[in-house]
Structure 1
Amino acid sequence: MAHTQQPSFGTIYDARPKTQWMEMPASVPGCPPGLEYLTQLDQVLIQQQVEIFEAMTDIETKNRYAIKNTLGQQCYFAKEESSLFQRLCCGTGRGFEIKVTNNAGQEVMRMRRKFKCCAGCCWCANSDTCAFYLEVESPTGTFIGGVRQSQSCWYPMYQVIDANERPVFNIDGPCCPCSGPCCTSDNDFLVTTSDGAVTQVGKITREYAGLMKEAFTDATNFAVTFPMDLDVRMKAVLMGATLLIDFMYYETDKNNDS
């Protein structure tokens, strides 16, 4: 009779799902080191990690994001660096740096938004002083593009620029980019060309996360779609645009709620 060994009381089980990693691609000529993953992708999923301490205390912690392909395999990890003072006192308007590492733990991108006292209002975004701007570097120290908030009457709007600060894409958001248990639909931010033809080339979708998660955390999931043959630098900048949108519209400003 076969004997089945029973676990001892001291056995510890790790119930957390194991992370599946995307296989490291070969180097690509002309591609910034670490961005080779993006040559194989036409969509990435950006999933903010739930912070238990933040959910329990309402104290804003540093954001962290897992960046995956459509098979759920992780290719990057992004972590916010910001001061505790600005997280507590400035909320969603805080300045920050986001360091993006590959599966080997090597930093391959850095995204930066400076703190601006009066920025955020779409009506006044025609002035650099009042418009949020996110810079993307890859490798760190080499500017490859940016995302600038654009002036509008209501809709969220952005302009994506390349390393020479020339407009490449426009991003137009929904009329009401709401977040919460009462808004049970996805929000689409359309990526279009800036050459006057207004041709849609991609999309940033903020996905509805479910009733419980929407009610108790500000952790968000995004899907970013772009052409497979798009320059990897612009793919990286669109990822940066996604994080800027997250900070501006889907981070609960707990310090200013009333």
Structure 2
Amino acid sequence: MIDLSQHPELYVRQEIEHLEVFVGFETQNRYSVRTPSGEQLLYAFEESGLLGRSFLSSHRPLTIHVVDRDNTEVISASRSFFWFHSHLHVSDGTGQRIGSMQRRFSFLTRKFDLMDATGSVVAEMRGPIFRPFTFMVYQQGQEIGRVTKQWSGLGREAFTDADTFKVEVDTSRTDKDFSLLMLASAISIDLDFFEK
């Protein structure tokens, strides 16, 4: 299994769904996970129902499967339908829970708790209202990571909802499970805030 703690910087790029571009029909999302040099490490895909995608939009129940080049599942992340605050559960390829991400109520910022397998909060993710494309991750008041939506170009931004996210993790202060949780968090942020 790939150890993401060896990669302090990754890019999560949503694949363009041509049916969405031409018809406006919401399809299951697909993502590639790449190094800064462009090497593809992982592939992620959404599993969800047609009615949920059509009528529940970003509130839909879903499972994200992340697989390596050999099509071996590295992580799965799932959430149920929610009204206000999403809660994403993340498991490794064997089904062992490694953590979760829970959105919290907050004025003028978007806040999430990042929790370990036992449910203990290990970090807080904040997305300031005046920096809508940046989510910083703090542990005991110090920044240990961030997820940033990257500009994808005028055509891609205007006509698709296919986004690219840069995931940065201070791997000297975190473990491999935290790196996997950050990867799942980037996809969750896309689904919660940047789906049209």
TM range (shorter): over 0.9
Does the 8 Å CA contact 2:108/2:128 hold for their aligned counterparts? no
| Residue of structure 1 in register with 2:66 after alignment | 100
Q: Quote the residue 1:5 is aligned against.
A: none
Aligned to 2:123: 169
Deviates more, 1:73-82 or 1:147-156: 147-156
Check the 8 A contact 1:110/1:140 in 2, yes or no. no
SS in 2 for 1:141: coil
| Structure showing greater Rg | 1
Structure 2 residue 186 is the aligned partner of structure 1 residue 249: no
**In structure 2, what is the Cα distance between the partners aligned to 1:209 and 1:88?**
25
SS in 1 for 2:109: coil
Residues 1:202 and 2:145 aligned together: yes
* Aligned ranges 1:224-239 → 2 under 5 Å: 224-229=167-172, 230-239=174-183
Tell me which amino acid in the other structure corresponds to 1:41.
H
Aligned pairs for 1:11-90 within 5 A: 34-36=1-3, 38-90=4-56
Name segments (4+ residues, structure 1) moved above 3 Å.
Answer: none
Match of 1:27 in 2: none
Q: Which runs of 5+ in 2 are unaligned?
A: none
**Residue in structure 2 matched with residue 142 of structure 1 by the alignment:** 96
Give secondary structure in 1 for the equivalent of 2:181.
helix
* Structure with more strand by fraction: 2
Partner of 2:154: 211
Please give the residue correspondences for 1:2-13 in structure 2 after superposition, counting only pairs within 5 Å: none
Structure 2 residue 60 is the aligned partner of structure 1 residue 114: no
Using the alignment, how far apart are the partners of 1:212 and 1:73 within structure 2? 24
1:244 CA drift (Å): 1.1
1:152 match: 106
SS in 2 for 1:90: helix
| 1:190 paired residue among 136, 140, 156 | 136
Identity across the alignment (%): 28
| Secondary structure of 2:189's aligned partner | helix
**Gaps in structure 1 of 5+ consecutive residues:** 1-33, 120-130, 179-186, 253-258
Amino acid at match of 1:59: F
TM-score (norm. length: structure 1): 0.73
- Structure 1 residue 46, shift from structure 2 partner: 0.2
Amino acid at match of 1:137: S
Alignment root-mean-square deviation, CA: 1.2
The code of the aligned residue for 1:243 comes to I
Q: Does 1:223 align with 2:169?
A: no
The offset of 1:35, in angstroms, is 3.4
CA distance in 2, matches of 1:219, 1:53: 12
